[in-house]
Amino acid sequence: MLKVSIKWQKKVFPSVEIDLSQPPYVFKCQLFDLTGVPPERQKIMVKGGLLKDDADWAAVGVKEGQKLMMMGTADEIVKAPEKSPVFMEDLPEEEQVGVVGHTAGLFNLGNTCYMNSTVQCLHSVPELKSALVKYPSDKRNDVDQTSHMLTAATRELFNELDKSVKAVAPMQFWMVFRKKFPQFGQLHNGVFMQQDAEECWTQLLYTLSQSLRPPSPSENPDTVKELFGIDFVSRIHCQESGEESSETESVYSLKCHISQEVNHLHEGLKHGLKSELEKASPSLGRSAIYLKESRINALPKYLTVQFVRFFWKRESNQKAKILRKVDYPLELDVYDLCSDDLRKKLEAPRQILRDEEGKKVGLKAKEKTSIPKDNDVKMTDAEGSSNGSGESSNATSEAGGSLSKESSLTGIYDLVAVLTHKGRSADSGHYVAWVKQESGKWIEYDDDNPIPQREEDITKLSGGGDWHMAYICMYKARVLPM
């Protein structure tokens, strides 16, 4: 060891030790600590030129007390952070949810996976959450007590899920749900029985449709109908008598009927729009077979599709399951399932959508289109129907007027949630929700255990074995960018 002094700029550092058993690079690191000049920027003048990182000290010939000169500029001094680092577990729970990237799971309270998966799928709809936030704590006169209690419990459960990263026990919701629908509280050997998720979904949505409906029709539109309602127009024809009539109805889901000919969701939906029914024929004076052909006449923001996988098996006296594989897409176009009137309303937005998507891949939009001026539209963002607060955004026409729901839709939908069932009977097995987050990532909600999944694995839940298979799919309407 020997000591030298170092002159750098206007400063002198006396008594700097050199360990001659270590290469000069180690000495430069010492100087870095003193001056802030990185070793690669240091130029130290010694006999014969500049000191190299791997030079031999004996050859350099540095002596005790020798004064060496160094040149080089220091790095900017790193300031201590104004705020100390915060660990995720020290954040408030609401902020932890943002860091984790998904909301909480739900504890299974005893064969309640059918309920948990239903709640997780519906919880992913921001417009529904927004409507529930506005739901009054005081019961309205036109809403019965149990419906009011269930709606309020849904609001509180959604709120808990949004604020928690730890699994939530939906006890209050579960108690109120059973009070409203006692059939879901059936016991077998002292244990709550497994129930059908589609029945749970339908009953919950029906209750919310009653509670969230405006007291006066002149007020805001029916929230649940606007979000999930599908209007049908049907032609009922008797080939034998020539009688023909039409009827309309509103439902909250499309049915995908499964048969030997159905390999894809779209085929199953087409089958579901045709049916035969037997009823009395006034002209024939007896019963006759009528063919009912339906078309979609109004579309919602969220299109729900149920795969009709369960049927009643007389021999075993239980609901049996059709295991057949039925593929479903990430993008669903229902244009050809719509009535002529609805197709006309969809044409303008679809043309604009094609032009916009064409621009993205370098294609020119059509210079002339046959779109009537009163159908010219400005659309909301491509995410669809919500602004930052999760409230519904209103698209406007060129004239500045309100744009109808049909005009803003394109008939094209993107998959945002899948509810699956594993097992061979509706009254047994296991239900799971697979939900797309705002970030685009998919999360599998297996009761209290949220698991990240790849998008390419979501469409593999199409059936054909004993693995999880799609029972309900929820699609979000694609609207046009500004």
Catalytic residues: 113, 430
Residue position matching structure tokens 């016991």: 187
Closest-CA residue to 356 (of 377, 374, 329): 377
Question: CA 432 to CA 303: how far, in whole Å?
Answer: 19
Relative to beta strand 274-281, strand 286-298 is: antiparallel
Question: CA 400 to CA 391: how far, in whole Å?
Answer: 20
Q: Is the dihedral of CA 165, 166, 167, 169 positive or negative?
A: negative
In angstroms, the Cα distances linking 223 to 175, 199, 202, 215, 226 are: 25, 21, 15, 12, 5
**DSSP code for 194:** P
Angle, to 10 degrees, between the axis of helix 145-163 and the axis of helix 93-100?
A: 70
Phi-psi category of residue 322: left, alpha or beta, with phi > 0 → left and psi -120 to 50 → alpha: beta
Residue position matching structure tokens 């929700």: 433
8 Å CB contact between 418 and 354: no
What is the total residue count of the chain?
A: 482
Q: CA 127: distance to chain centroid?
A: 13
Question: CA 381 to CA 405: how far, in whole Å?
Answer: 15
Our separate counts of H helices and E strands in the chain read 13, 23
The SS3 call for residue 247 is strand
Q: Which residues contact 63 (CB under 8 A, 6 or more apart)?
A: 2
Q: CA 232: distance to chain centroid?
A: 27
Question: CA 438 to CA 122: how far, in whole Å?
Answer: 14
Q: How many CB atoms lie within 10 A of CB 179?
A: 15
8 Å CB contact between 165 and 97: yes
